[in-house]
A = this chain, B = another copy of it.
Amino acid sequence: MPTARRSPTALLVRRGGERLLFDCGEGTQRQFLRSTLGLVDLTEVFLTHFHADHYLGLPGMLKTFSLRGRELPITVYGPPGLNDLFASLRKIFGRLTFSVELVELRPGESLERDGYVLETFAVEHGVSALGYGLVELPRPGRFDVETADSLGVPPGPERGALQRGEPVTLADDIVVEPEQVLGPPRAGRKLVLSGDTAPARAVVEAARGADLLVHEATFCVDERERAEETRHSTAAEAAQVALAGSVKMLALTHVSTRYFGPEVLREARELFANTAVPKDFDIIELPFQERGEPRLIKGGVLPEDGSGAGQQPAGSGTSSEEKAE
């Protein structure tokens, strides 16, 4: 259920120029409009499961895209059952100016992307449901300019080739291997989203070593029985998953309307210190390891007046902010 301060579930991942939306609760399009992002022309939406609070924002958002005359296709991914859901939703959103492609993913299937793999895993919510992991491939090691100089590699395309991992033959037939001038490969980043789930071994495995685990914490320990019945997690249970998975940072979401937030944070931090309970419009920035730690930026996508309601009539569809994190 929404509250005055919290909209139903939706999480946007920005990576370079890519924008991936995970879940799309009622009102998500307006949350975009209230942010500095504007309503992004998303090309991919990933659903974790088919409880209404996770997809009710989709029909209206697709309608709005259509009213804007969009032609760019959109792909919606989700666990088995996605096609059935859309058989109903299509009756609501009707004809659109663009095509909607549906891709059902079985738990364990993954999508190979440019620079990363999008993994899926089974979670325990009593319905067809997925967790998602965005796992970046290792990046090439740091280029050692001094060694390249001493080996006689001239500045220019040869150094580019070596950086891409290709050997280079110099004018005097000397072959330089990439390993000679590159440091050890540098780790990519790893982000894991649990979706709605009871505490699950599969989430621990999927989250192992993640820079950030976004885990649901619908309840606190006072409602542990209800959490069990409804196949949700308590804050303490989510913290135990983070701990067992040795993640760097834990972000708790899907907090029940009965909690304000701080009590959820307190409960989790007793077990796992680096926990955040982000509010709507907060950002978590995930730098590459050598550039710093994951950090919460409060109100990161709120307009400067803090109102969440900029003066401009919205719906222009272009984002003024293209900050990569």
Contacts and interface: CB of A to CB of B under 8 A. Distances in A.
Interface string A28-68: 01100110000000000000000011001101100110011
B4 A33 contact: yes
A257 B52 CA distance: 27
A161 interface: no
Interface of A is mostly: loop
A88 to B, nearest CB: 4
A93 interface: yes
Top 9 closest pairs, chain A to chain B, by CB: A257-B315, A88-B91, A27-B27, A26-B60, A3-B314, A2-B30, A4-B309, A5-B309, A4-B33
Contacts of A1: 64, 67-68, 315
Contacts of A30: 2, 4, 7, 26-27
A27 B32 CA distance: 13
Contact of A56 (B7, B60, B67, B260): B60
Given A60-B53, A313-B260, A3 B93 contact: no
Contacts of A88: 88, 91-92
Contacts of A309: 4-5
Interface in A80-102: 88-89, 91-94
Interface residues of A, number: 42
A52 B60 contact: yes
A10 to B, nearest CB: 13
Contacts of A260: 311, 313
A245 interface: no
A91 B55 CA distance: 13
25 contacts: A2-B29, A2-B64, A2-B314, A3-B33, A3-B313, A4-B33, A4-B34, A4-B308, A26-B27, A26-B29, A26-B30, A26-B57, A27-B27, A27-B30, A52-B59, A52-B63, A52-B94, A53-B60, A56-B59, A56-B92, A88-B91, A92-B92, A257-B313, A257-B315, A259-B313
A275 B132 CA distance: 52
